[in-house]
Amino acid sequence: MRTARSRFRLPTALLLAATALLLTSCGWSLWDVPMTTVIPKSDFGKATHGLFMLISWWTLGIFIVVEGALVWACLRFREKPGQPIPSQVHGHTVLEVSWTIAFAVILLIIGIPTIRMIFKTQEPEAATALRVEVAGRQWWWEFTYPEYKFTTANEVHIPAGRQVAFYLHAPDVIHSFWMPQLGGKRDVVPGRINRLTLTADGPGEFPGQCAEYCGTSHANMRFRIVVHPKESFEQWVAGQQKPPAEPVGDLAQKGHEIFTQAACVGCHTIRGVSGGVMGPDLTHFASRKTLGANLMANTPENVAKWIENPGHMKPGALMPDLGMRGEQTKALAAYLTSLK
């Protein structure tokens, strides 16, 4: 008995120590996990979180009852020295019927609000909803605002307190549009349009991510959601509707010339300058905080690095290395980062 116990003590102690070390070294806290779904910031997020908690509490209750009964039975009916073989029991109709009914009732308690919620999320959006068309592409996100007639990429801005209807489509393969804290996750499927509606509670910045494996750079298919108070959203819209900034200074001017003479124009739109549609719209590229679908900060150095070796920064990226180096990339980066 003693040897068996000591055999278990060491691994258990080691496991506990390792767990404690892991938790303390990570400094893990529920409040600094940006990809969490349990701190919802929209009506959609709160509704799905409510269902999640309902299921969690019921399953916790079942766990406690079942494990409690198990432990009680183990202690109460364990073998005592000199005890005769206990009477052999086969089946207990009352018990079997009652636990079948009890679990059927619990399934109904969970099932009814779940089904109600599924229907609620499929209701038509409000007439006042903001429509945002989302295209999931390998490996970046395109956002079009038909009401305001402009397109942007990898950064979706929405107003707080106004319903937003995201219309999702995929020009290439299946993706999944996921905004953990806003509670939204929906597949983006070629050949069909899925819709997701939600109303964000208040201003904030949230990370988003493709949640369906879609090829080499699936993990690099991120985006940012910026929720504005009403007025600052209107300001942002007005900024995006403006024509692109004119290049200021020799370097940016040279970059503008390189852009219009090189293959860049075949893939990228800069309104009034070029009309390519393969890659992200760059009209107000410098208004975005990040580059390459939230891969790195949008700085002239990173833009130059990206132009010189996109395949290294984002494996499998469709953007080719056009062979530009040194002064050329510097000029292009100066031009692009002037497009506020």
Q: Which residues would be at the binding site for ligand CUA (CB under 6 A)?
A: 136, 139, 175, 210, 212-214, 218, 221
Q: Cβ of residue 125: shortest distance to ligand CUA, in angstroms?
A: 24
Q: Please name which of 321, 326, 294, 318 lies closest in space to residue 306, comparing C-alpha atoms.
A: 321
Q: Cβ of residue 190: shortest distance to ligand CUA, in angstroms?
A: 12
Nearer to ligand CUA, 138 or 144 (CB): 138
Q: Where are the beta strands (DSSP E) in 138-255?
A: 140-145, 150-153, 155-159, 163-169, 175-179, 184-188, 194-199, 204-210, 222-228
Give φ, ψ of 251 to 5 degrees.
-65, -50
Nearer to ligand CUA, 210 or 282 (CB): 210
Q: How many secondary structure helices (H) and strands (E) does the chain include?
A: 9, 14
Q: Cβ of residue 144: shortest distance to ligand CUA, in angstroms?
A: 18
Nearer to ligand CUA, 54 or 189 (CB): 189
Nearer to ligand CUA, 214 or 334 (CB): 214
Rounded to whole angstroms, the Cα distance separating 184 from 198 reads 8
Q: Please name which of 133, 135, 131, 132 lies closest in space to residue 278, comparing C-alpha atoms.
A: 135
Nearer to ligand CUA, 44 or 178 (CB): 178
Give φ, ψ of 255 to 5 degrees.
-60, -40
Q: Cβ of residue 135: shortest distance to ligand CUA, in angstroms?
A: 11
Checking phi first, is residue 296 left (phi over 0); if not, alpha (psi -120 to 50) or beta? beta
Q: Cβ of residue 189: shortest distance to ligand CUA, in angstroms?
A: 11
